[in-house]
Structure 1
């Protein structure tokens, strides 16, 4: 089974943005050295606990700091951007790191409505029509990145448009989603697809079935290609793993219930402020979908998930927190999660 990594570049209460980026670079090196297959970086905006605002910049940082691992976006929220801009960015990344770049594309805004408006208006007055145009935007990005480029018809004349002057390859393009929409679009385009199981956890079976049943082979993909994403915290001691998971569980409760969003708490701070009883059912529901425990137990859960959903790759989102006194430029518990899983499964 292949293992991969999803990273939101979390920012703890004791970290600056620079600290969080340093921790991500260190985590990516661990993934590279221990045999993980790919390392994806998300796009989220205006969130105090997330520094992953710009996947192309993060991909360049990570790819330049690693040797062999594939690096990509999980994902670029395409309605926030002009398709040509994304095509240019990823065509350059592919030229710099040939055969190592993935372009994962999503349709969600990745932020609150005000920030989404600022992103789209600031990019040239793009409106919600960008969401409706999502399928054509996906097609445009793929065509613009191809070595031959596209012909753009303006005023009755066809003008050549290339994302980069002399491409010899283009990144692998994936569609991402947490609903049926992207599953059906990926199937119709013959593209690989990933359902956000780590975030939603509901509807995974239905989305993957829609994708597989409706898949139409394309020039680049003969059969469906997908994998599973899951939140994970692994430690040598099961009790320690539960403690390490607590800050992220609290953060997700705040996100789902309209609570105050803040930088990720340290474990001691999270333990001193218990989750209200009214939110315990939500915590338990999320907890059941996460992989939290010892290396052997976690490896067993990942094998079971892979078998249940018929995949040969699992992308883990390492969400382990940190204790007081942890060096601010690193995330040792997140790194240990990757190392322990690698020893069991790779």
Structure 2
């Protein structure tokens, strides 16, 4: 990779196609992570979404353990753990163990959104003894607690007039790197106030990125964790030998995201041939607006667009969410078009 090109990373939702089981989708993502590792991508993050037929990324710590064990040097992390769904101590313990097993390779990206629909959110936070909406209002406190509990010193918990030592792991020698994630200015302000690295969900929103990053940089306060603002950009991308083919490969994910945003029923991700039929029923204006915010093209054009985005938002790293669909007849345990997106970008930006 040339010194002027941005570093590349990967975001993965572990998509499940109509021709795949959950296990086959996980195998395809494991292969994708190994490819990213070989091609010198900087980090590989997995999301947290629940009760979605097309997404197998329900449990970031479990996936991170599998992917870190299957790779050698790439940083593996969460993009992100949706903190209101979990007790802070549990998150701290999970990522302290991952960091102990794979030192210097674990990122803990933390978000405030539920990552699911209201009914599933209720089941996560209340039906299983969760902490409910209180966790949303106490989000800044819980972030502080996680950072402190993963540290070797731990924290002191005051109960009934006595201070009890609380640690996420008995003897930490390093800690996972904590990032705050968001699609509004809330997490930008909090990350700046706490001196933490921050990522805006450009791949999901596509709007407000410049304002959120400027707010974060302007208000950043140095901390023991970080002495200067640190951020990167996330983008949806499909790269193929020709731009025409890339646009065709983008159709399954465009179909899924349009259904999500319009409240239509969700199912497994369609194959390309299925999506070509299904998109005829969708609003072309919404499809085109969404498509315009993605990187879709041939290797040269896509690389130029990634470099332009990095320059526009003044970042030295771009996290690629490879959203290329698969053709009918693709081996279920493989995702060759997602693989090709990473390979072609790495070649063109190298």
TM-score normalised per structure 2: 0.97
For the residues of structure 2 that align with 1:300 and 1:127, how far apart are their CA atoms? Answer: 44
1:256-289: CA deviation from partner (whole Å, max 9, x where unpaired): 1111101000011111223336x11111111111
1:338 equivalent in structure 2: 342
1:43 equivalent in structure 2: 48
CA contact (8 A) 1:82 1:123 kept: no
For the residues of structure 1 that align with 2:130 and 2:343, how far apart are their CA atoms? Answer: 45
For the residues of structure 1 that align with 2:11 and 2:317, how far apart are their CA atoms? Answer: 13
1:37-89: CA deviation from partner (whole Å, max 9, x where unpaired): 00000000000000000000000000000000000000000000000000000
2:3 equivalent in structure 1: none
For the residues of structure 2 that align with 1:204 and 1:72, how far apart are their CA atoms? Answer: 22
1:224 equivalent in structure 2: 229
- SS of residue in 1 equivalent to 2:250: helix
CA separation of 1:123 and 1:91: change in aligned 2, threshold 3 A: farther
1:8 equivalent in structure 2: 13
For the residues of structure 2 that align with 1:125 and 1:237, how far apart are their CA atoms? Answer: 48
For the residues of structure 2 that align with 1:275 and 1:152, how far apart are their CA atoms? Answer: 58
CA contact (8 A) 1:246 1:267 kept: yes
Q: Do structure 1's residue 206 and structure 2's residue 206 form an aligned pair?
A: no
Q: Do structure 1's residue 294 and structure 2's residue 286 form an aligned pair?
A: no
1:20 equivalent in structure 2: 25
1:276-323: CA deviation from partner (whole Å, max 9, x where unpaired): 36x111111111110001000000000000000000000000000000
For the residues of structure 2 that align with 1:289 and 1:274, how far apart are their CA atoms? Answer: 18
For the residues of structure 2 that align with 1:252 and 1:275, how far apart are their CA atoms? Answer: 15
- SS of residue in 2 equivalent to 1:74: strand
Within 5 Å, which residues of 2 pair with 1:58-137?
Answer: 58-137=63-142
For the residues of structure 2 that align with 1:133 and 1:219, how far apart are their CA atoms? Answer: 22
Which of 235, 254, 259 matches 1:254?
259
1:171-219: CA deviation from partner (whole Å, max 9, x where unpaired): 0000000000000000000000000000001100110011000000011
Q: Do structure 1's residue 282 and structure 2's residue 292 form an aligned pair?
A: no
Which of 226, 230, 244 matches 1:239?
244
Instruction: Structure 1: state its 5+ residue gaps.
Output: none
1:90-149: CA deviation from partner (whole Å, max 9, x where unpaired): 000000000000000000000000100100114424121110000001000000000111
CA separation of 1:125 and 1:35: change in aligned 2, threshold 3 A: closer
2:190 equivalent in structure 1: 185
Q: What RMSD in Å do the two structures reach over aligned CA positions?
A: 0.8
2:272 equivalent in structure 1: 267
CA contact (8 A) 2:124 2:130 kept: no
For the residues of structure 1 that align with 2:15 and 2:290, how far apart are their CA atoms? Answer: 19
CA contact (8 A) 2:192 2:216 kept: yes
CA contact (8 A) 2:45 2:78 kept: yes
CA contact (8 A) 1:250 1:275 kept: no
1:321 equivalent in structure 2: 325
For the residues of structure 1 that align with 2:277 and 2:204, how far apart are their CA atoms? Answer: 26
- SS of residue in 1 equivalent to 2:280: coil
CA contact (8 A) 2:85 2:130 kept: no
